[in-house]
Amino acid sequence: MTVTVSFVLNGEDVSVDVEPRTLLVEALRDRLRRTGTHVGCDTSQCGACVVHVDGRSVKSCSMLAVQAEGAEVVTIEGLAKGGRLHPMQEAFREHHGLQCGFCTPGMIMSALDLVSQNPDPDENQIRHWLEGNLCRCTGYQNIVRAIKAGAQAMRSA
Amino acid sequence: MYEFNYHRPTTLAEAKTLLESNADAKLVSGGMTLLPTMKLRLARPTDLVDIGNIRDLGGIRVDAKNVEVGAAVRHAEVASSADVRKAIPALSDLAGLIGDPQVRNRGTLGGSIANSDPAADYPAAVLGLGATIRTDRREIAADDYFLGMFETALEPGEIVVAVRFPRAKRAAYAKFPNPASRYAVVGVFVAETGAGIRVAVTGAGACAFRVPEMETALGRKFAADSLDGIEVDAAELNGDLHASPEYRAHLVGVMARRAVSAAGG
Ligand SMILES: Cc1cc2nc3c(=O)[nH]c(=O)nc-3n(C[C@H](O)[C@H](O)[C@H](O)COP(=O)(O)OP(=O)(O)OC[C@H]3O[C@@H](n4cnc5c(N)ncnc54)[C@H](O)[C@@H]3O)c2cc1C
Ligand code: FES
Ligand code: FES
Element at A56 (helix H, strand E): strand A56-59
Answer whether B31 sits within 8 Å of A59, measured CB to CB: no
Report the complex ipTM. Answer: 0.97
Answer whether A56 sits within 8 Å of B32, measured CB to CB: no
Question: pLDDT confidence of A133, banded at 50, 70, 90?
Answer: very high
Is the model's pLDDT at B205 over the cut of 90? yes
Answer whether A132 sits within 8 Å of B103, measured CB to CB: yes
Per-residue confidence (pLDDT) for residue A35, from 0 to 100 = 98
pLDDT tens digit string along B39-70? 999 999 999 999 999 999 999 999 999 999 99
Per-residue confidence (pLDDT) for residue A39, from 0 to 100 = 98
Q: How far is CA B106 from CA A65, B101, B234, B264, in A?
A: 14, 9, 34, 32
Look at strands B47-50 and B25-28 and give their pairing: parallel
CA angle A30/A33/A36 to nearest 5° reads: 100
Note whether A128 and A114 are within 8 A (CB).
no
Task: Report all structural domains of chain B as residue ranges with CATH numbers, in order of start.
Answer: 5-52 (3.30.43.10), 58-262 (3.30.465.10)
| CA Rg value for chain A | 15
Q: How many residues does chain A have?
A: 157
Task: Report all structural domains of chain A as residue ranges with CATH numbers, in order of start.
Answer: 3-78 (3.10.20.30), 87-156 (1.10.150.120)
For residue B202, give every residue at least 6 positions away whose Cβ sits within 8 Å of its Cβ, in sequence order, or none: B118, B119, B120, B121, B123, B124, B184, B186, B187, B188, B189, B208
Interchain CB contacts (distance < 8 Å): A and B: 73
Q: How many residues does chain B have?
A: 265
Per-residue confidence (pLDDT) for residue B265, from 0 to 100 = 83
Give the distance (Å) from ligand 1 centre to CA of residue B28: 9
Per-residue confidence (pLDDT) for residue A95, from 0 to 100 = 97
Nearest CA to ligand 1 atom 50: B99
Element at B248 (helix H, strand E): helix B245-262
pLDDT tens digit string along A25-63? 999 999 999 999 999 999 999 999 999 999 999 999 999
Q: How far is CA B30 from CA B36, B97, B217, in A?
A: 11, 17, 39
Q: Is the CB of B30 under 6 A from ligand 1?
A: yes
Question: pLDDT confidence of A157, banded at 50, 70, 90?
Answer: confident
| From A38, A92, A100, A142, mutation site for ligand 3 pocket: most ligand atoms within 8 A of C-beta | A100
Span A91-96, average pLDDT = 98
Question: pLDDT confidence of B197, banded at 50, 70, 90?
Answer: very high
Q: What's the one-letter identity of residue B104?
A: R
* Residues in chain B within 8 Å Cβ distance of A67: 31, 50, 52
What is the distance between the alpha carbons of residues A98 and A91, in angstroms, rounded to a whole number? 11
List the beta strands (DSSP E) in chain A.
Answer: 3-9, 12-18, 50-53, 56-59, 72-74
Per-residue confidence (pLDDT) for residue B180, from 0 to 100 = 87
Give the distance (Å) from ligand 2 centre to CA of residue A132: 9
Distance of CA B114 to the CA centre of its chain: 9
CA angle B249/B250/B255 to nearest 5° reads: 100
Nearest CA to ligand 2 atom 3: A44
Higher-pLDDT residue of A123, B1:
A123
Per-residue confidence (pLDDT) for residue A1, from 0 to 100 = 81
What is the distance between the alpha carbons of residues B4 and B148, in angstroms, rounded to a whole number? 29
Name the burial class of residue B228, with classes exposed (0-12), middle (13-18) and buried (19+) by CB atoms within 10 angstroms of its CB: exposed
Per-residue confidence (pLDDT) for residue B122, from 0 to 100 = 98
Per-residue confidence (pLDDT) for residue A67, from 0 to 100 = 97
Span B261-265, average pLDDT = 94
Question: pLDDT confidence of B181, banded at 50, 70, 90?
Answer: confident
Q: Is the CB of A115 under 6 A from ligand 2?
A: no
Question: How far does the CA of residue A129 sit from the closest CA of chain B (Å)?
Answer: 7
